[in-house]
Amino acid sequence: MKAVGYIQQQAGLGVEGLIDLELPVPVPGPKDILVRVQAIAINPRDIKMRGSQRASAESPRVLGWDAAGIVEAVGSEVTGFAKGDHVLYAGNMLKPGANAEFHLVDARIAGQVPKGLSFADAASLPLATLTAWGMLFDRLGLPRSGGQGRNLLILGGAGGVATMAIQLARQFTDVTVIASASRPESQAWIRKMGAHHVISHQDDIAAQIKSQKLGPVHWIFSMNTTPASFTAMAAVAAPYGKIGFIDEPEGLDVNLLKPKSLSLHAEAVFTKPIFETDDIGQQRCVLEDVAQKIADGTLQSPVNAHFGTINAENLRRAHQAIESGTSIGKVVLEGF
Amino acid sequence: MKAVGYIQQQAGLGVEGLIDLELPVPVPGPKDILVRVQAIAINPRDIKMRGSQRASAESPRVLGWDAAGIVEAVGSEVTGFAKGDHVLYAGNMLKPGANAEFHLVDARIAGQVPKGLSFADAASLPLATLTAWGMLFDRLGLPRSGGQGRNLLILGGAGGVATMAIQLARQFTDVTVIASASRPESQAWIRKMGAHHVISHQDDIAAQIKSQKLGPVHWIFSMNTTPASFTAMAAVAAPYGKIGFIDEPEGLDVNLLKPKSLSLHAEAVFTKPIFETDDIGQQRCVLEDVAQKIADGTLQSPVNAHFGTINAENLRRAHQAIESGTSIGKVVLEGF
């Protein structure tokens, strides 16, 4: 089968390290479904993992943590899926990724693609949706159908996770959503996704919250966590406020949490499949619910760029787009 | 009135900086009660604040965040207290402390001392009890009357907070309590307080949890948070585990929270009085409930050392005892 991956473990491996591969079609284990991949999306996770994992010419590393496709075969213990079903999923970062014609995924973390949703739109959803959902509802504990008059700050620009987090907060809660982006086009995007208030994280965050009377902030979802932004978060937080992060911050002074008894929360989509947690089945429910709402127009697809078919050349361009940090919405590739 | 405090702001001010003072009796504001202090207890907080706050000969700084005494007068808006009532409280670190014959406290954070409880026992409770309660139930979210088969790790030695945290967890939940102390006498103390399992934080924490099959740990309450102990906490934590800290950690790598989607929680007793939070009245309820359970023998008093009357000489010795880091239970002083 066709696939795209890299064959050398090397810190800072450039996009040129992504190459076209010819690999054997994998064989599903008892809990797996074998998926004929139709579309994939790219995430910052792919950039972090490029070159950082063991790889060789004999054992290439395939990335890709967003996929939609058609079930080709199911393992002996799989329930709820049959050959021909259309599925979407994020997968498991410890296993081979989805940038391949055929891919295995644990059936417990896959969802059915609803009628009316394209494979490209479906592939754009899993990692960003599950990350946003897990952070908002499981880690930060936003109240479903509640929270009126309380404030959520999404410090994140206009990437995939912010795109979904803004929409999910608007759809499933009554909180006020303050979101940050720095360029006119990214600010326009997050406003379109439903942010009540838009600020710039290039300017003084605390000063903007204060001058626009947007605080105090009860929940903060940060995709850009630095010592400076963390200081601003602690300053604008309400007592007992919760701060979530999904990036890789360095040098944070956690003592900033103390005066207001704040908390700091990590959310990793892969906790469920890696540790096979009791709630592993939640991903299916969330994916199917959100995919249905995209299909029926209740929520907006995060797809903002289509980079063509799935091959090394197009994947390199997609990696570059994500790596630039200025990408808006989701980048997808489709077909082989 | 007599008081003990210091008159110079100086980093690392030694215990000799604590001196006997003669100060005017304070006048209660509308929400205050004026308390004739009968007993006080010492906390690590006193050590941190000694010399670190603005002070001068004209305006000395009085410390002390644990007190029990008799109501002498009440402010115009105070309800629930009258002259002659016996009260206990932790107070507010931004205001003068309780190491004085008379002291003002916001009535909303004071509790009534139940019959049968000595002033010394009452004074030993507030800061440690409120810290332990706030962390266990509000920050870490331990289930009241539940949690059987789940594990709480208290990394804290045998000081006041650990003493109360172990007892509260045993009294109000069904979780398994693993506690750490390093010396035979401190290990004996935490076992007496009800710890199901006792480990040593001088040895490899993760290895002990693993070899004794005590993990995974769902909640961790740390009073000794270092890069090394934090690494161990992340290693023994269950997915979605919660880690609370009350010390002043430096150099933590918060990315250790990510693989298991963990969270890190700060608890500061003074968040309530400083920010006048909606739940400010909770401290009264907790103090009265726990004090009653000490009075009737359901819980054990944390008092383990009585350092005599409240004067500079005795307070210096008490500070030295707490500063040594080897103090077991609570240190109290009583009378003037």
In this structure, what CATH number is given to the domain that contains residue B79?
A: 3.90.180.10
User: Which sign, positive or negative, has the C-alpha torsion B29, B31, B36, B38?
Assistant: negative
| Residue B197 belongs to domain with CATH number | 3.40.50.720
Give the per-residue pLDDT at B276. 95
What is the distance, to the nearest Å, from the Cα of residue B69 to the centroid of all Cα atoms in its chain? 18
Task: Say yes or no: B249 contacts chain A, CB-CB below 8 A.
Answer: yes
Q: In the prediction, which pLDDT does A15 show?
A: 96
Are residues A251 and A199 part of one domain? yes
CB contact under 8 A, B257 and A240: no
Whether residue B14 is contained in a domain is answered as: yes
- Rounded mean pLDDT, B5-15: 94
Residue of chain B whose alpha carbon sits nearest to that of A92: B259
The pLDDT assigned to B141 comes to 97
- pLDDT for B160 beyond 90: yes
Question: Closest partner residue to B264 among A254, A268, A275, by Cβ?
Answer: A254
> For A205-219, what is each residue's pLDDT tens digit?
999 999 999 989 999
Banded model confidence at residue B32, pLDDT cuts 50, 70, 90: very high
Strand order across the A237-245 sheet: A197-199, A176-180, A151-155, A217-222, A237-245, A263-266, B263-266, B237-245, B217-222, B151-155, B176-180, B197-199
pLDDT at B218 over 90: yes
Segments in chain B forming alpha helices (H): 44-49, 119-123, 126-133, 160-172, 184-192, 205-211, 227-236, 271-275, 282-295, 312-323
Percent of chain A at pLDDT above 70?
Answer: 100
Is residue B66 pLDDT above 90, yes or no?
yes
- Count H helices and E strands in chain B, helices first: 10, 16
Nearest alpha-carbon partner for A201 in A193, A190, A145, B237: A190
Q: What is the mean pLDDT of chain A?
A: 96
Percent helix, strand, coil in chain B, to 5, is: 30, 25, 45
CB of A324 within 8 Å of any CB in chain B? no
Q: How confident is the model at residue A157 (pLDDT cuts 50, 70, 90)?
A: confident
Which tens digits make up the pLDDT trace of B79-129?
A: 999 999 999 999 999 999 999 999 999 999 999 999 999 999 999 999 999
Looking at residue A156, its pLDDT comes to 84
User: Do A99 and A172 reside in the same domain of the chain?
Assistant: no
Point out the domain boundary residue: A238, A266, A294.
A266
Instruction: Kindly tell me if the per-residue pLDDT of A325 is higher than 90.
Output: no
Is B41:B302 a contact under the CB 8 Å cutoff? Answer: no
Interface test with A, best of B138, B240, B260, B271 (most A CBs within 10 A): B240
CB-based contact, B141 to chain A, within 8 Å: no
Q: In this structure, are B51 and B155 located in the same domain? A: no
Residue B196 sits at the chain A interface (C-beta within 8 Å): no
Chain B residue with minimum CA distance to A276: B239
Coil, helix or strand for A89? strand
Q: Is B27 on the interface with A (CB under 8 A)?
A: no
pLDDT at B326 over 90: no
The predicted-structure confidence for A252-302, as pLDDT tens digits, reads as follows 999 999 999 999 999 999 999 999 999 999 999 999 999 999 999 999 999
Q: Which of B249, B260, B271 sits opposite A275 (nearest CB)?
A: B260
A91-127 tens-digit pLDDT:
999 999 999 999 999 999 999 999 999 999 999 999 9
Residue with tokens 């009075």, as numbered in its chain: B295
Q: What is the pLDDT of residues A159-203, one digit of tens each?
A: 999 999 999 999 999 999 999 999 999 999 999 999 999 999 999
Q: Which residue of B has its CA nearest to A268?
A: B261
Q: Strands, E, within chain A: which ranges?
A: 2-6, 19-22, 32-41, 61-62, 67-74, 86-89, 102-106, 111-112, 151-155, 176-180, 197-199, 217-222, 237-245, 263-266, 303-306, 330-334
Token pair recorded at residue A214: 């947007």
| A15 close to B (CB below 8 A) | no
From CA B26, how far away is CA A186, in angstroms rounded?
A: 57
pLDDT of B163 above 90: yes
Task: Choose one of A212, A240, A266: the last residue of a domain.
Answer: A266
Tokens of A283: 């991903």
- Same domain? For A136 and A254 the reply is yes
pLDDT at A313: 98
CB-based contact A252 B248, cutoff 8 Å: no
8 A C-beta contact, residue B196 and residue B178: yes
Chain B contact set for A267 (CB, 8 A): 261
> Do B32 and B68 reside in the same domain of the chain?
yes
pLDDT confidence of residue B109: 96
Cross-strand partners of B222? B155, B245
A21 and A91 in a single domain? The answer is: yes
Report how many Cβ contacts below 8 Å link chain A to chain B: 88
- Of residues A264, A271, A274, nearest to B263 (C-beta): A264
In the predicted model, is pLDDT for residue A150 greater than 90?
yes
- Can you give A111-144 as a three-state secondary structure string? EECCCCCCHHHHHCCHHHHHHHHHHHHHHCCCCC
Q: Cβ A268–B252 below 8 Å, yes or no? A: no
- Minimum-distance CB partner of B261 among A240, A262, A271: A271
- The reply to whether B137 and B259 lie within a common domain is yes
Share of chain A above pLDDT 90, in %: 96
Q: Can you give the pLDDT at residue B156?
A: 85
Query: Could you give the residue ranges of the DSSP H alpha helices within B182-311?
Result: 184-192, 205-211, 227-236, 271-275, 282-295
Which residues of chain A lie closer than 8 angstroms to B258, CB-CB?
248, 266, 268
Query: B101 and B69, same structural domain?
Result: yes
Local structure of A230: helix, strand or coil: helix
| Residue that terminates a domain, selected from B212, B239, B266 | B266
Q: Percent helix, strand, coil in chain A (nearest 5)?
A: 30, 25, 45
- Partner A contacted by B258 (CB < 8 A): yes
pLDDT for the residue numbered A326: 85
Does B20 map to a domain?
Answer: yes
Are A114 and A148 contained in the same domain? no
Q: Does residue B140 sit in the same domain as residue B164?
A: yes
Residue B272 lies in a domain: no
Structure confidence at residue B157 (pLDDT)? 84
Instruction: Say if B168 falls within a structural domain.
Output: yes
B224 shares its domain with B328: no
Q: Does residue A220 sit in the same domain as residue A310?
A: no
Chain B residue at shortest CA distance from A250 = B253
Mean pLDDT taken over chain B: 96
Query: Is some CB atom of chain B closer than 8 A to the CB atom of A144?
Result: no
- The answer to whether the CB atoms of B265 and A245 lie below 8 A apart is no
Interhelix angle B126-133/B160-172, nearest 10 degrees: 50
In this predicted structure, the answer to whether residue B18 has a pLDDT above a threshold of 90 is yes
Interchain contact A248–B (C-beta under 8 A): yes
Number of domains in chain A: 2
Please count the residues of chain B: 336
User: Considering only CB atoms, which chain B residues are within 8 Å of A258?
Assistant: 248, 266, 268
CB-nearest to B262 from A255, A266, A270 is A266
The candidate with the shortest Cα–Cα distance to A107, out of A197, A1, A34, is A34
Query: Which residues span the domain enclosing A260?
Result: 131-266
Average pLDDT of the segment spanning B268-290: 96
